[in-house]
Amino acid sequence: MISPSLVDEFEHYSSWRDAVYVRVEALRDWLNTRELGDAESELRLNQLLGRLQEDTLNVAFVAEFSRGKSELINAIFFSDYRQRVLPSSAGRTTMCPTELHYTPLHAPSLRLLPIETKIQPGSLADFKLDAAAWTEFPLNIHSADEMSAALMRLADTQRVDAATAEAYGLIDPTDEETARHLAHDGHIEIPRWRHALINFPHPLLKQGLVILDTPGLNAIGTEPELTLSMLPSAHAVLFLLAADTGVTKSDIEIWHHHIAPVGGASRARLVVLNKIDGLWDELKTQAEIDAEITKQVASSAALLDLPLNQIYPVSAQKALVAKVRGDAVLLAKSRLPELEAALTLELIPCKQALVSESSLLVVEDVVVKTTELLETRLAAIQDQVDELAGLRGKNRGVIEGMMVKANEDKQQFDRGLQQFNALRNVFASQVAILREHLGMPALKVEVSRVRLAMEKSYFSAGLREAMGQFFRQVDGNLNASSAVIKDIRAMMEAMYQKFSDEHGLAAVNPPGYSLSKYRKEMVRLERIFDERFNTTLKMLTVGQRQLTTRFFETLASKVVQVFE
């Protein structure tokens, strides 16, 4: 069975999230019923409800081939099926990035995206919207044998010539290791599938858990969306090493280029030293075995520049056997419970804190606006009550005086309306300027310009300049937009203050708007551009057409998503 603490904590989080949804929905309905809401508040509450409804908890398993990722996933999540669900055996089993999730909109199934789509226009996100692009196999969840047989397709490969593999972006023809893998006939074995989606009604997957299995450095390097979107959006990343191989050069490359950069306060990163059962030796004492494991942990921590307590030695294979057989002694020896406890402790509280903070921010803002509206209405009603009370026993002259005052109030309102219309025109002109910088039409024009420049360029300097100019233009638009936003806020503050002074109302602090999170994302994308595209080796070894296609299907499309 799955660790009770992991199940309990995840179910607790799921129940808490559902309760937040109910409370937010009740607030929205209460505001609408009493006519206290406005279009902006309702939009923000509906967006929050949508995020809560679609909320997922993403856990990524990253490692080179043959580190035991699939076995670890089986041990943590699928041991209650009494056998392996994901294929796991010696050598390479999961050949393509695989997502395990659940949606009730589709029957349990395995959907596979053919590798041939790598030379077709469109990103992985685009293909996810095209059901016809995928090959689908049903999963019989009532038969573990049939389900396991169906999932063996994740290990499918095919042989292609070097030119085809290069066109798919899977090999570097100048690499010595690639040359060694090429058979005498010039062919090489490659994955048959580009990506896999497993829709599976597991209890945790039903509650929003999404598992990403990424097979090896080559898969990460040739599928940029893993680096651009999937790994950064993961709430926890489990990076696997193998005790029998130690930390290899490719392990270090994956860690420093793909795992460490996506860390942060909201990301749990756990390093798993798997296959410690290879160090078990009946001719050694338990103390000697423990010392050997500790030595491996220390070596791994030093090479990855991590504290010792961030490395978790386990035996996924023995843990799975122990769970299936109900062997508590073997389970403890496998050390998997320590990893599950750390995963529970680091992952779920971080995720709950993020959702709580974002939800509280929206609700507090709506409540403050509603409170200010109620206070304004109450003050106006109290003034009217006071005036009506003062009319008792008054003569006609007083009433005529009130009519004069009402007329003056109307004139003041008309003057205020004229000022409002004038300010609205100023705001409209500022918003128009903002749209010129941030609007999709302007960005699409820039994307088209850069694509044309890259297609016309036959030298690396021209390609590098076109791509660099794209990021400089986007950065310039964000800087100009920040200045316009600052001016708009200053005008809004002055307008609110004037309105408050003239009408005796409480001062209102206009909501702020910052582009900082978008600027941070652009900095991240520009760093990836420098690492993946803006290198002499890349310019010399990748064809102009292929480089242009990769740039626009990955980085440029991601920039468009940021602006959307």
> What residues have CB less than 8 Å from 124, skipping those under 6 apart?
113, 194, 195, 223, 225
As a whole number, mean pLDDT of residues 258-263 equals 67
Structure-block tokens of residue 295: 């030595």
Strand partners, 62: 214, 239
Copy the structure tokens of residue 323: 């769970």
CB half-sphere exposure, 262, CA atoms < 13 A = 27
pLDDT value at position 265?
Answer: 42
Separation of alpha carbons 467 and 454, rounded Å: 8
Neighbour-count burial of 261, counting CB atoms closer than 10 A to its CB (0-12 exposed, 13-18 middle, 19+ buried): middle
State the pLDDT at residue 111. Answer: 97
pLDDT above 70 covers a percentage of the chain that reads: 84
How confident is the model at residue 394, as a pLDDT? 62
Bridge pairing between strands 135-138 and 109-114: antiparallel
Q: Which of 305-314, 440-449, 494-503 has the lowest mean pLDDT?
A: 494-503
Q: Cα–Cα distance between 370 and 401 in angstroms, integer? A: 35
What confidence score (pLDDT) does residue 535 get? 60
Considering only residues 225 and 266, tell me which one the structure prediction assigns the higher pLDDT.
225
Bridge partner residues of 98 (DSSP): 196, 213
Element (H, E) at 557: helix 557-563
Straight-line distance from the first to the last Cα atom of the chain, in angstroms, rounded to the nearest whole number: 43
CA–CA gap between residue 136 and residue 78 (Å, rounded): 22
Q: How confident is the model at residue 142 (pLDDT cuts 50, 70, 90)?
A: confident
Q: Is the pLDDT of residue 263 over 60?
A: no
Tell whether the model's pLDDT for residue 542 goes beyond 60.
no
List CB contacts of 549: < 8 A, sequence separation 6 or more.
121
Model confidence at 102: pLDDT above 50? yes
pLDDT reading at 553 higher than 70:
no
Mean pLDDT (whole number) for 433-440: 78
Q: Which residue has the higher pLDDT, 415 or 479?
A: 479
- Greatest CA separation for the chain: 113
0.85 exceeded by pTM: no
Considering only CA atoms, which of 321, 300, 305 is closest in space to residue 243?
A: 300
Of the candidates 215, 218, 220, the residue with the CA atom closest to the CA atom of residue 230: 220
Q: Are 90 and 240 in contact (CB under 8 A)?
A: no
Q: What pLDDT, in 10s, does the model give residues 320-379?
A: 999 999 999 999 999 999 998 888 877 788 788 889 998 999 999 899 888 888 888 888
pLDDT for position 344: 81
Domain edges within the chain: 1-55+349-390, 158-190, 395-563
**pLDDT band for position 296 (50/70/90)?**
very high
Task: Assess whether pLDDT exceeds 90 at residue 391.
Answer: no
Torsion of CA 63, 68, 72, 74, to 10 degrees: 120
pLDDT of residue 134: 96
pLDDT of 442: 77
Q: What is the mean pLDDT of residues 158-172?
A: 82
CA distance 395 to 393: 7
* More confident of the two residues 365 and 541: 365
**What is the structure's pLDDT at 198?**
95
- C-alpha span between 508 and 78 (Å, rounded): 54
Position 264 confidence tier, pLDDT thresholds 50, 70, 90? very low
**CA angle centred on 321, ends 318 and 324, rounded to 5°:** 150
By mean pLDDT, which of 50-54, 321-325, 466-470 is the weakest?
Answer: 466-470
- Taking CA atoms, 111 is separated from 211, 276, 284, in Å, by 15, 34, 47
Give bridge partners of residue 100 from the DSSP assignment: 198, 211
- Contact between 496 and 507 under an 8 Å Cβ cutoff? The reply is yes
Cα R_g (the chain), whole angstroms: 30
pLDDT at 93: 67
pLDDT tens string 166-189: 888 777 666 666 666 676 677 888
pLDDT in the model for residue 388 = 73
Q: What is the pLDDT of residue 266?
A: 46
Rounded Cα distance between 331 and 315, Å, is 9
The yes-or-no verdict on residue 127 having pLDDT over 70 is: yes
Residues 202-257: tens digit of each pLDDT: 888 888 889 998 877 655 556 666 766 788 778 888 999 998 888 888 888 888 87
| pLDDT for the residue 92 | 62
Query: Looking at residue 202, what is its pLDDT?
Result: 84
Question: What are residue 82's phi and psi, to 5 degrees?
Answer: 65, 5
